[in-house]
Structure 1
Amino acid sequence: MPAAGTSVKSDVRRQHAIEAAVACFAHKGFYGTNTNQIAKLASISQPYLYRLFANKEALFVAAVDHVGGLLSQALITASAAHAKEQTVRSPQALLAAYGGLIEDRNILRFLMQANCATDEPVIRDAVRACYAEQVMLVCELLDGDRDAVRRWFGAGMLENVVATLGLADVAEPWAKTLVGAVSD
């Protein structure tokens, strides 16, 4: 029988490992990151990491689920706050919440890296499930307006490009055009 508190410690270490995985995968992607780097950042041994997760794919899937949960929570919170002020649900309020989330460069880069790792079937399934959850949530938050959902996701993808390339700091007309499209 495990000692008292062992499960809690394991849960905390698991969460630290997932957060470390997001950071490592954000920088080097699924293929460029090894589990030793993640274990080191999480301050655990690599063998212990494999006790928490069966393999690197399972850890990546857990990271996708974690980031998807952060995104869902940010959108729900923004929608609830906006609903107190307005009777009409606002795609802009949701986009602002998304923009706030991707200010964390690790989250932004991880989201992009997750799309790039979909050659792995288990990761593709996890990313698809994450998108499905987000589409259903945004559709619910925008009162079922499917066109608004597509526009919202398109604006979010553009926001990824603007943030990744640091276009807010670029004075070129083409950059201003894209930045303006995000803030409109």
Structure 2
Amino acid sequence: MAKGISSSASRRADIVSAAIEVFAEIGYFRATTAQVAERASISQPYVYRFFTKESLLVAALDVSHQRILEAFQRVVESAAPEQLETGFIRAYEEIMGSHRNEILLQMQAQTIQDASIRNAMQQGMSQIKQFVQQAFERAGIADADARTSDFLARGMLCNVAMAMDMPDLLLKR
């Protein structure tokens, strides 16, 4: 039985990965679960065994938010307090490079008004904000709340610069 559970978990992860690619490439509203199924090399009914289209986007957003939190956690575990913000920036830049579609998906989801998707975005952003702010506070960074807001705002600008292929929007460090 354990093998069946891990197999199901693996298939769910494959479906979510395929959805991230499809949704990021052609947009959530234009994408179909049939396209996700094709990308995952499974049947559309198998996708529906696990997800609706909406719950699939929510799962994909959770994956992307968790990736950011895990990367930031690794920074907290290894960086000196004075290197915390720089470490977060580098970790986020790595995610933007290696998981670009997840960031593009988050950007799309910011405009979707469906309650469950909006809730997933609000929860994910709140968790990231809270994590960063608490890390800044523990590191003794003055005005941690404002620094957190500035950090998140710079992250949003990085997203726009990446999506539009306009690196000149970013400040040079």
User: TM-score with structure 1 length normalisation?
Assistant: 0.84
* Pair 1:87–1:72, CA change in 2 (3 A): closer
Q: Which residue of 2 aligns with 1:171?
A: none
Q: Which residue of 2 aligns with 1:27?
A: 25
Q: Which residue of 2 aligns with 1:141?
A: 135
Within a 5 Å distance, the mapping from 1:5-44 to structure 2 comes to 5-44=3-42
Q: Which residue of 1 aligns with 2:151?
A: 152
Structure 2 residues without counterparts, runs of 5 or longer: 139-143
Shift of 1:125: 0.8
Cα distance in 2 between the residues matched to 1:38 and 1:125: 23
Cα distance in 2 between the residues matched to 1:112 and 1:65: 14
Structure 1 residues without counterparts, runs of 5 or longer: 169-174
Q: Which residue of 2 aligns with 1:46?
A: 44
**Mapped contact 2:37–2:43 kept (Cα < 8 A):** yes
Cα distance in 2 between the residues matched to 1:20 and 1:150: 32
**Aligned residue pairs: how many?**
167
* Cα distance per residue 1:83-110 (max 9 Å; x no partner): xxx2435212101111110113212211
Cα distance in 1 between the residues matched to 2:163 and 2:11: 30
Q: 2:126 aligns with which of 125, 132, 135?
A: 132
* Pair 1:73–1:4, CA change in 2 (3 A): closer
Other structure's SS at 1:44 match: coil
Shift of 1:4: 5.6
**Mapped contact 2:33–2:44 kept (Cα < 8 A):** yes
Cα distance in 1 between the residues matched to 2:2 and 2:102: 34
Percent identity between the aligned chains? 28
Cα distance in 2 between the residues matched to 1:36 and 1:163: 28
Over 6 Å off, 4+ runs: none
* Pair 1:9–1:134, CA change in 2 (3 A): same
Cα distance in 2 between the residues matched to 1:87 and 1:96: 15
Alignment of 1:116 onto 2:111: yes
Shift of 1:124: 0.5
Cα distance in 1 between the residues matched to 2:116 and 2:137: 32
Q: 1:63 aligns with which of 54, 60, 63?
A: 60
Cα distance in 2 between the residues matched to 1:34 and 1:48: 14
